Structures are given as C-alpha cells and as structure tokens.
Amino acid sequence: MYSMLFLGGVAAGGIFSGTNPAYQVYEIRHHIRMAQVKMFIVEPEVLGPVLEAAELEGLTRDKIFIFNTRPQQDVPEGFRSWEWLLSQGEEDWVRITDLEELQRTEVARLNTSGTTGLPKTAMQSHYNATSWHTMLHDIARVPWTVRNLYTLPGFHVATVPLVHACPLITGDQCWIMRRFELEGFLAALERHRITNIGIVPPLVIAIIMSPLRHRYSLRSLRQVKSGAAPLDAASQEKFRRLCSPDATFTQVFGMTETTGTISHFYYPGTDDTGSVGSRFLPNTDVKLIDDKGNDITAYDVPGELCVRGPTVVRGYFNNPKANAEAYDAEGYLKTGDVLYCDGKTKKWYIVDRKKELIKVRGFQVSPSELEGVLLMHPRIVDCAVVGFRRPGEPMHGVADELIRAYVVVRPSTSTSTTSSPPEPPLTADQVKAHIRAHLASYKALTGGVVFVPEIPKSASGKILKRVFAEQIEREMASSKTEGQGDGGKQRAKL
C-alpha cells in the first residue's frame, strides 16, 4: 500500500516526502521545515509524535489523514481516514511531456542519511527518476524471471523509484516486507523462490552469523547487490556461498543525491574483491579531487569522487549554503566519499567517507578498513570505528587523532544443557591485539575499545558516526569539568 500512496500523490501532481516512522518530535519537526510538508498520511500507531510535531509547526488536524488499512486500526476521533481522499472525485494523471518541465518538476523531497549531522532534503525530479530507471534497468536485464524481495524502508532513496515505480515498467514480480525481521526475511526468500535482492552490510553480517542460515535455503538467489556502506570481501563471499552456485554478489555505490546507485557490475559481471563497480551509469561524468578541490583524476590515486549526470539532483531544497558547498563550478556534486580506480582491473573501490578519515602521524586511516578487520574476529558481530582528538594534548606533527572502536560482541553460545563452560568475556586488550596482529602500528586502537549492545544506524544501514561523536564530546566535557578540581590533570577514560 505504501507504493500506492507514492504513486497516487505523484499522479495528482504532489511531491512525495516520506519520513522514518521511528522519528521523534524533534526529527519530524525538522523534516516538516526542511521539506515544507503540507499534509501527512500516517498510521494510527505512530500518530502521537506526528501530531505533536505538526501542531508545533502550524499544521492543523485536517491536514493529517489516518492510514488505517489493517484490521483493528481505528481512526482516532477528530481525524479522517485516507479513504476520504478517494471520495473527492477523479482526475487523470498530471502528464509531463516537455523536457525542461520534466527536469524542474520534483517527484520527491528525500532526506539525506544524516550520518554527520541533521538530514538535508534532496530534490529528486521526474527527470532524475526516469533517467535512473532507463540507464539501469533498460541495459541490465538478466536471462531469468526476476522475483524481488524488498526490505528497505519505503521513504528511502533505495525504494524511490526502485520499489514504488520500476516494477510497473519492467513487469518484474516483487514482494515487499512491511518491516524487516530476520527469520521472516529468510523464510520469504525460500517460500517465494526469490532471485534478486538488494541488501545492506548489517543484514549480510546478521545472516552469515545466524544459525537460521542453515534452516532456510537461499539457493534461489541469483543476483545480490549490497550498498549503503562498504562490505568486507570475506563476508561477501560467505554470503555468496549460501546462494545459487551461479549467483553474482556485487557491491554498488550511490547516494540520495544521485537517485540511488550509480556504479555497478552489469550481469554476468561479478567480483570478490570488495569493489563497488567497474562502470558508472551511462551519461555519468566522474572526477576525483584533492582537499583543495584540484582535479587529480588518475588511476590508483584516491580522491573525493565528484559526479555529474542525469540522475544527480539539482540541489537541496531551500538550502543555498549546502548547495554552494556540495556543487562545484562545473556542476559536479562532491560526494564526500574517497574512492580510487585500480589501474589494472579498472574497478572502483571506496576508501572511506572524506570527513571520517582519521589522521595519525601524517597518515590517513580508514575506519572502514579497521571495521572490516574487527569483523574478522569470531566474537565480534558488529562494530564502528571513529577518530577524535583529546583536548589539551600536544599534537605530534599534524592533527593526530585517537582511534576508538565500538564493538558488539556475539552472545555466548553455551547453555545450561551443554557441558562446555561459558566463554570468558571478550576484553578490550584482546580486541586491540587483534588489530595489532593484522594492521600497521599507526592504526592501533589508541582511543580505546567500548563494548555496546548495538551500533546506531540509519534506515539504510549506514553507521551514524555522529552519535559517537556527540558521546565523545560529552565525555571530553565531563573529563574537563572533573579535571578542574585537581589542576586539570584528569584525562578522559579510555
């Protein structure tokens, strides 16, 4: 039904702007302001924060419709059901036949991932959406009947237009999960003989680490694509072995501002090296720049990827400052991701987010590299690596940072019915030793190891590094306050 809301709104000439149902009042208010939301269609279970945010932003109750499509979903008193909209007469689709109108008419205002701060609102046009579909699906057909299973949220660029519109054009069969649940996902793969899925690294890790992988068959899967964050090659290969013997499992690169993925291995191309593709979409120009904005495009040279083409949105809604920072004079979008192209294989690889690279003794350390090594440890199921400076300490050369790992440990497998003793707790020293055994000394976890129950992630699976940055800022402030009582000699606890 979510796709029907998208299509109905767009057909009526509206602009879609889905929001995360997990958002609280503060986040919803930000969304209302940034996207200039005029109307909500919301399920009764999440009405509370939406109503509070809407009223604080001046939206009246007559602009909020209740999406009561399931049994036992009642319309609260004082509100109208979404079905009221269906009783207001019919009109034909708003049709756009002029190219310039297609380019300037918005189909969606989508929130960016917000990994480093509050989300911005990207303006996806009808031209962006139709171009993306044409350049991807019209040249990437496969020799089997496609059966898709979609699990990513309907408000995310990974589903706009991929889930809401593309199957109507391709005729591919698709199943859409209301919400993700691991066993339900695996059961659906087996029951519906799913052939194609898009997936995110946390889900890959969850499946290859779960005993449920032996209970359900994934042998129908013939094409798997992973995106939103880098995935280590070992985990990629472990998942691929669960699929059909001839399955391809490749990684892709894309972002909200590019209307989805823009780098691929086209079938039957495959890869087991962790590359995000050997080709960009047709009509897509790319270049690499250094920290000063100089064009350094060359093989085997890492630089910030900049892209230009039909799928790149024209900017952020009502945000001239962000637009000035994001686009250069030639119209290229600066992605904020550092990539390089291998001169021999012509494959592209992500180094890391530009803003997340950690500087140590003149070297740039990639958190993604450390995260991949940490996940090689049999006791670690998830992790995040961040860099930070400890205030008041001298720098060694250039802007040295400390490296900290946040780690989620696999639950102990021992039970009261087994004779084996419980596993001893994983220690910070063991985690540090694991890194030392695999990486250069300057990549050591000098900022410590913190064990956490889970790693905060966006709806698309990207690690929300800003959550850890805010935590460290509070830690530093607390340490500074405590240190004032003893001559400032206290240090942050690592």
pLDDT one-digit tens code per residue, 194-237: 999 999 888 898 899 899 999 999 999 999 999 877 788 888 99
362 — pLDDT class (breaks 50, 70, 90): low
CA 52 to chain centre: 28
Cis peptide before 161 (omega within 30 of 0): yes
Do the beta carbons of residue 422 and residue 406 sit within 8 Å?
no
In 3-state terms, what secondary structure has residue 29? Answer: helix
Residue 63 and residue 54 in contact, taking contact as beta carbons nearer than 8 Å: yes
Average pLDDT over every residue of 152-176: 90
Which distant-in-sequence residues (6+ apart) come within 8 Å of 260 by Cβ? Answer: 132, 136, 157, 158, 160, 162, 254, 311
Closest CA to 240 of 214, 262, 221, 264: 221
Output the pLDDT for position 153: 84
Closest CA to 134 of 165, 98, 97: 165
Residues 284, 302, 343, CA angle at the centre, nearest 5°? 75
Report residue 118 as tokens: 């509050």
Go through the chain and tell me how many residues it has.
494
Rounded mean pLDDT of the chain? 87
> The tokens 């129950």 sit on which residue?
453
- As a whole number of angstroms, the distance between CA 211 and CA 182 comes to 11
Contact 388, 402 (CB under 8 A): yes
Within 13 A of 50's CA, how many CA atoms are on the CB side?
Answer: 22
380-388 and 173-176 as β-strands: parallel, antiparallel, unpaired? unpaired
Is the predicted pLDDT of residue 22 greater than 50, yes or no?
Answer: yes
C-alpha 338/C-alpha 303 separation (Å) is 5
C-alpha closest to that of 385 among 462, 453, 463, 461: 463
Q: What pLDDT sits at residue 489?
A: 37
DSSP string over 49-111: HHHHHHHHTT--GGGEEE---STT-PPPTT-EETHHHHTS----------HHHHHHSEEEEEE
Instruction: Look at the block and give the residue holding tokens 């979903």.
Output: 73
Give the sheet arrangement for strand 449-451, strand by strand.
380-388, 402-409, 449-451
> Could you tell me which of 214, 227, 178, 218 has the C-alpha nearest to residue 195?
218
Q: Which domains does the chain have, with CATH numbers?
A: 2-95 (no CATH), 124-353 (3.40.50.12780), 357-412+425-486 (3.30.300.30)
pLDDT in tens, 389-446: 876 554 433 347 899 999 999 887 655 555 667 788 999 999 999 999 888 788 899 9
Strand bridging mode 279-280 / 260-264: antiparallel
Angle formed by the axes of helices 201-209 and 233-240, to 10°?
Answer: 60
pLDDT band at 369 (very low <50, low <70, confident <90, very high): confident
The mean-pLDDT minimum among 141-145, 364-368, 469-473 falls in 364-368
Please write the tens of the pLDDT for every residue from 187-196. Answer: 999 999 999 9
- CA end-to-end distance (rounded Å), the chain: 49
Q: CB neighbours (10 Å) of residue 414?
A: 12
Question: Are 431 and 446 within 8 A, CB to CB?
Answer: no
